[in-house]
Amino acid sequence: MLPAFLIPESILREDGSGPAVPLGPAQGKLLLLTLGITRVIEQESLEVSIWGSADGGDWRAKPLLVLPQKFYCGVYRFLLDLTGQSEIGFLQARWKVHRWGRGDPKPLFGVWMAAEQIEAQALRAGSG
């Protein structure tokens, strides 16, 4: 099933969550998450967390991964190691947006996020 979009290309103006994405053959594997931020306005922040579920309905009490807050456009990559958590069959991205300062109080982010399986050997080969 992977690569798959955890956040389809979207304009985010409030907190929310993406679809429950089945991992299929990538279950229990090492994943590369790519977050693309294509549009921002000043004085705002975006925080994305990744949640796991065995069945796509019952989500754990804590996220698998919380990405550092983002304030600027760019492409950001993160690793999610599920090798010790083979019961996780679904992922979901959730986000919180915040805006401060003057002007329109509603945040505005153009965002997408994809997940794909990556082989551990590729990481070792790239580091040497």
Instruction: Per-residue pLDDT tens, the chain, 128 aa: give them.
Output: 468 999 999 999 999 999 999 999 999 999 999 999 999 999 999 999 999 999 999 999 999 999 999 999 999 999 999 999 999 999 999 999 999 988 889 999 999 999 999 986 555 555 55
Q: What is the pLDDT of residue 124?
A: 56
What is the CB-side half-sphere exposure of residue 60 using CA atoms within 13 A? Answer: 18
What is the CB-side half-sphere exposure of residue 68 using CA atoms within 13 A? Answer: 6
Q: Residue 87 has what DSSP assignment?
A: T
Q: What is the pLDDT of residue 125?
A: 53
Average pLDDT, rounded, for the chain = 93
SS3 120: helix
The CA-based angle 87-92-98, given to 5 degrees, is 140
SS3 86: coil
Q: How far apart are CA 37 and CA 127, in angstroms?
A: 26
Q: What is the pLDDT of residue 82?
A: 97
Nearest Cα to Cα of residue 104 among 41, 10, 12: 41
Q: What is the pTM of this model?
A: 0.90
